[in-house]
Amino acid sequence: MIEMKTEYSYKIIEMEGRINEMHKSLRSRILSEIQNGECDPAGGLNTIDYIDQVEVIADKLKNLVKAGSHKFLYTQHVMPEEE
């Protein structure tokens, strides 16, 4: 069984919070640059898609860490074969 190290869990949760902050800031900045004609719209929207996905990945990683820190175990139930 894999051991969850508490200090890593806290660091991952902290980093997810930083990623959320950066996500909001970058997304807002890029949208503003697109609206002001300072950025190529297609490139800006592609960048927004990319940072949106990074934020989703960070959320999922945080959820995994939280589940692991509560000794969450996934058990697969196998249906017995009928005779």
The residue among 54 and 13 whose pLDDT is bigger is: 54
At 49, which amino acid appears?
Answer: D
**Residues 38-78: pLDDT tens digits?**
999 999 999 999 999 999 999 999 888 887 766 555 555 66
Flag the least confident range among 25-29, 34-38, 61-65. Answer: 61-65
Domain edges within the chain? 1-32
* CB atoms closer than 10 angstroms to residue 44: 18
Do 20 and 58 touch, CB atoms closer than 8 A? yes
Considering the entire predicted model, what is its pTM? 0.71
pLDDT value, residue 70: 63
Tell me which residue of 29, 18, 7 sits closest to 58, measured CA to CA.
Answer: 18
- What span, in angstroms and rounded, lies between the C-alpha atoms of 22 and 16? 10
- What span, in angstroms and rounded, lies between the C-alpha atoms of 74 and 45? 38
